[in-house]
């Protein structure tokens, strides 16, 4: 008989409790990612065992909210991986220019930096006025911050460098106003972004779109869940639409590898076959 490690059982029971009580499903997330986040929360709370958190999750909504924030993925920055955005300008924008109206789904948008980056890029390429960006995440706190478009100015120097390296055509400072320790993104960038709560794990097709960006989210899912989400993306993309994954992700060895052709092998940009 194969015995599971006690902590593995505790994690399974905790994730089941979160799903049953709150509807958030982390049961098919990478075990390494989940364990790392839970151990960090245990250190902060002084708990000795993972099982102690189960009672807290079920009976204390504030604790549950903190744990949900721990388990969600909010790693992002403006023009993250500039070479990716440069490839977007060169290989994807020409495709988007062939459509009279453009719909883009930014799945797992976190606090919104990359959605605003896309809005800037589209504005510079003369496409923003005919584009709708659907920026979705299941983390409502992150979405609320994204809607405000207010970010710490500590990162602005790095963002400006990213912007220039990505092929930016203007001065990055023209896209925001400074306010004490923060910067506020221009209202013109917000007008065509629709922020919405959507859970890649439990929700269905969000919209029929020309372009999907979901970068460095799938690495936190197990193989079965990755395939499930890839099916969701495939059903959401029009024929000839473009899928952008993260640098550590690929369509190789998924059920949908044959559905796409590579536009950029290194930046993980794929075009859905007709």
Span 26-51, pLDDT tens digits: 888 888 889 988 998 988 888 988 98
In which domain, by residue range, is 153 found? Answer: 82-272
Please check whether residues 107 and 66 belong to one and the same domain.
no
131-184: per-residue pLDDT in tens? 999 999 998 889 999 999 999 999 999 999 999 999 999 999 999 999 889 999
pLDDT at 1: 43
Q: What is the CATH number of the domain that holds 259?
A: 3.40.50.150
45 with 176, same domain: the answer is: no
Same domain membership, residue 171 and residue 65: no
Nearest Cα neighbor of 57 from 80, 75, 33, 41 is 41
- Phi first, then psi: what are they for 263, rounded to 5°? -95, -35
Domain-embedded: residue 87: yes
Shared domain check, 54 and 162: no
Residues 40 and 147 in one domain: no
76 domain-assigned? no
Q: What is the CA radius of gyration of the chain?
A: 20
Contacts of 241 (CB under 8 A, 6+ apart): 209, 210, 211, 212, 271, 272
Query: How many angstroms separate the CA atoms of 211 and 242, rounded?
Result: 5
20 and 127 fall within a common domain: no
**Among 52, 58, 56, residue whose Cα is nearest residue 11:** 52
Whose CA is closest to 144, among 87, 197, 98, 219?
A: 197
Tally the domains of the chain: 2
The pLDDT of residue 177 is 96
Residues 164 and 50 in one domain: no
Segments of the chain assigned E as strands: 102-107, 131-137, 150-152, 176-179, 182-185, 193-197, 209-214, 237-245, 260-264, 269-272
Collapsing DSSP to helix, strand or coil, 202 comes out as: coil
The residue ranges of the chain whose pLDDT is under 50 are 1-2
Q: Is residue 77 part of a domain?
A: no
Domain final position from 38, 71, 104: 71
Nearest of 110, 8, 7, 19 to residue 58 by alpha carbon: 19
200 shares its domain with 92? yes
Please tell me the distance from the alpha carbon of residue 22 to that of residue 201, in angstroms, as a whole number. Answer: 14
pLDDT score, position 109:
94
Examine the domain organization and report whether 136 and 16 are in the same domain: no
Q: What is the pTM of this model?
A: 0.86
- Give the span between the Cα atoms of 107 and 234, in whole angstroms: 13
**Does residue 50 lie in a domain region?**
yes
In a domain, 47, yes or no: yes
Chain length of the chain: 274
The answer on 183 and 51 residing in a single domain is no
Q: Is residue 237 part of a domain?
A: yes
């Amino acid at each position: 008989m194969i015995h599971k490690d006690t902590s593995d059982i505790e994690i399974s029971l905790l994730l089941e409790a979160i799903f049953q009580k709150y509807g958030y499903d982390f049961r098919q997330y990478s075990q390494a990612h989940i364990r790392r986040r839970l151990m960090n929360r245990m250190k902060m709370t002084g708990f000795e065992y993972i099982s102690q958190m189960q009672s807290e999750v079920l009976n204390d909504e504030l604790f549950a909210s903190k744990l949900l924030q721990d388990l969600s993925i909010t790693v992002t920055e403006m023009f993250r991986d500039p070479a990716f955005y440069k490839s977007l300008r060169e290989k994807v924008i020409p495709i988007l220019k062939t459509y009279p109206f453009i719909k883009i789904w930014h799945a797992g948008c976190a606090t919104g930096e990359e959605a605003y980056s896309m809005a800037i890029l589209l504005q510079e390429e003369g496409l923003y006025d005919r584009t709708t960006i659907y920026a979705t995440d299941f983390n409502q706190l992150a979405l609320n911050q994204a809607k405000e478009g207010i970010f710490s100015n500590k990162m602005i120097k790095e963002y400006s460098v990213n912007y220039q390296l990505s092929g930016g055509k203007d001065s990055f400072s023209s896209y925001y106003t400074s306010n004490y320790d923060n910067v506020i993104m221009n209202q013109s960038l917000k007008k065509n972004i629709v922020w919405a709560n959507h859970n890649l794990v439990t929700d269905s097709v969000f919209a029929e779109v020309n372009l999907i960006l979901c970068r460095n989210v799938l690495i936190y899912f197990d193989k079965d869940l990755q395939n499930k989400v890839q099916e969701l993306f495939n059903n959401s993309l029009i024929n000839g639409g473009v899928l952008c994954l993260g640098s550590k992700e690929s369509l190789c060895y998924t059920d949908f590898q044959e559905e796409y052709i590579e536009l950029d092998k290194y930046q993980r940009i794929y075009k859905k076959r007709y």
